[in-house]
Each structure stands twice: as structure tokens, then as C-alpha cells.
């Protein structure tokens, strides 16, 4: 928690965030002196997922004069010693950090049912950022590498090798990610191929979003099956862990017991 707060803001915020995790009444029953008790593995992987995703799109300036001690603490900084251009270095670091974020989310999915929350928070952050015209190449590479690495691990490892399904590819949390990825690709294509004038580019995604939402809303009223599917999506979004009130309070506490039992057999 400290490193996440530090990466987002500064050291003071990181210390404050870690302190809140230790003594805020709302989460005190879930932690002990700042250490997550009930989901220690899932909680750690969740924070690492957010940490590396933030580091991916916040890649700073390239310092060619870094020390080897700095490289030991920040392994990806060894790229600064190469002859690659600054823009290429930033792009590579964004992809590497984004891939790490996806890997840790995959590990979290094998140990904790709370993966659904992360899979909703990150794409919503991406969509809001795009609507507010917060877009650059680093942001694109960060999200694409994160989502692609996670999806590949789910399909190639969880489904094929381990024969478990920690995440269903057609559930609402994955659909939100498909929408975010599609919005990113549209924005990239508009700028890459100069589809419209530059001064109108910031308004392209908000306009398409409003139009698409309106068409989807009308279609939901016209088509009964689509309407039922939309109602189901709204219910799942409002209660991403489980439909029931009782189940919602404990469903995120799923352990790796089932996964370990299935993998041993």
C-alpha cells in the first residue's frame, strides 16, 4: 500500500495510506497492523497489479547516468544503458510493467474471487480517462499489455493446463474490458490514420460513447432478449461479486482450496 500511494502521489501519501490500512475501522476487522489476514495472497497480488499498472503509464524521463545500485532496485532501468531512443525505452518499459500487472492479476485470480473488482476498476478508469481526453501512447501500451497478458494466461494456463475457470470471458467484468480496449483502438486509429481533423479528435470518443449508449438503450427496449441481458448486466455490475446480499459479503473470501484440490487430482 505504501509503494502504491508513493507511486501515485508521494512518500507522505504512501505512509498515510499504509497507516489507514492499519487502523481505519472500516477495514480493521480484515487486517492486523496493516497486514491482510483473510486474503494475504490475493491482497498482495491485487496491490502489485495496481502498482505495476500505475508504473506502466507513469514512466518518467530516461536517465542515462543511473548507477548500478539503482538498477538493482529497479531492474527495468537497465534498459537505460542501451542505445535505444528515449521514446522506444518508455514504450518498452510501459509494456513490461503492464505485462507484470497482468501476470499478477492472473495469480490473484487463482487465489481470490475479488479479481472481478480489479477487472472492473481498471477499465472504468481507462474509459473515464479517454472521455476526459487523457490519452497518450504509454497509456495505450500499458492497458493493452496488461489486458492481453492476463487474457492469454487465463486461456492458455488456467483453461488449458490447470482446467480451472477463475474468470469467465463472457462475464460483465470482461465485457467492460472489451469495451475499453475497443475505445482505445478507435482513438489510436483516429489519430494514426487522421480520420478527422485534429481539433475534433478529443471529442470523438465522447461522441461515439453517447451515440453507442443511445443506440444500445433503444435496442434494449425493442429487443426482449437484449433487454433481459442488459438488466442482467446492470445487476451484475451493481453486485459484481454475487447477487445475494449474504453471498456478497463473503463471496470475495474464496480461497485457493478448490484450485489446489483440482490441480492435485
DSSP letter assigned to residue 76? G
Q: Are 187 and 205 in contact (CB under 8 A)?
A: yes
**pLDDT for 30:** 59
Rounded CA Rg of the chain: 21
**pLDDT for 143:** 92
pLDDT surpasses 50 at 192:
yes
- Mean pLDDT (the chain) is 78
Cite the DSSP H helix spans in 74-200.
86-109, 115-131, 137-153, 172-192
What are the residues facing 35 on neighbouring strands? Answer: 32
What tens digit of pLDDT does each residue of 227-258 get?
887 777 777 666 655 555 545 555 444 545 45
Helix (H) or strand (E) holding 224: helix 224-238
What tens digit of pLDDT does each residue of 38-96 get?
567 778 888 899 999 998 888 766 565 666 665 666 666 666 667 677 778 888 888 99
Give Cα 221 distance to the centre of its chain.
Answer: 32
How many CB atoms are located within 10 Å of the residue 135 CB? 19
Per the rule left: phi > 0, alpha: psi between -120 and 50, beta: everything else, 59 is: beta
**pLDDT for 230:** 78
Averaged over 143-151, what is the pLDDT? 93
pLDDT surpasses 60 at 259:
no
What tens digit of pLDDT does each residue of 85-125 get?
777 888 888 899 999 999 999 998 888 777 888 898 999 99
Amino acid at each position: 500500500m505504501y509503494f502504491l500511494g508513493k507511486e501515485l502521489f508521494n512518500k507522505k501519501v504512501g505512509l498515510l495510506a499504509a497507516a489507514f490500512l492499519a487502523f481505519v475501522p472500516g477495514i480493521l476487522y480484515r487486517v492486523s497492523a496493516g497486514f491482510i489476514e483473510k486474503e494475504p495472497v490475493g491482497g498482495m497480488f491485487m496491490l502489485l497489479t495496481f502498482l505495476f499498472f500505475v508504473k506502466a503509464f507513469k514512466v518518467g524521463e530516461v536517465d542515462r547516468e543511473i548507477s548500478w545500485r539503482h538498477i538493482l532496485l529497479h531492474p527495468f532501468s537497465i534498459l537505460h544503458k542501451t542505445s535505444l531512443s528515449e521514446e522506444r525505452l518508455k514504450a518498452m518499459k510501459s509494456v513490461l510493467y503492464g505485462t507484470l500487472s497482468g501476470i499478477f492479476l492472473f495469480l490473484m485470480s487463482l487465489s481470490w474471487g475479488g479479481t472481478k473488482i480489479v477487472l472492473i476498476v481498471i477499465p472504468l478508469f481507462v474509459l473515464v480517462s479517454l472521455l476526459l481526453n487523457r490519452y497518450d501512447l504509454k497509456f495505450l501500451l500499458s492497458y493493452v499489455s496488461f489486458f492481453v497478458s492476463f487474457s492469454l494466461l487465463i486461456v492458455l494456463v488456467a483453461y488449458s493446463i490447470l482446467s480451472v475457470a477463475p474468470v469467465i470471458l463472457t462475464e460483465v467484468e470482461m465485457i467492460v474490458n472489451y469495451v475499453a480496449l475497443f475505445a482505445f483502438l478507435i482513438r489510436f486509429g483516429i489519430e494514426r490514420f487522421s480520420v478527422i481533423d485534429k481539433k475534433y479528435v478529443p471529442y470523438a470518443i465522447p461522441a461515439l460513447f453517447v451515440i453507442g449508449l443511445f443506440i444500445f438503450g433503444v435496442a434494449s427496449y425493442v429487443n426482449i432478449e437484449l433487454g433481459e441481458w442488459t438488466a442482467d448486466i446492470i445487476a451484475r455490475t451493481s453486485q459484481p461479486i454475487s447477487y445475494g446480499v449474504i453471498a456478497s459479503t463473503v463471496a470475495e473470501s474464496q480461497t485457493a482450496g478448490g484450485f489446489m484440490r483440482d490441480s492435485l487430482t
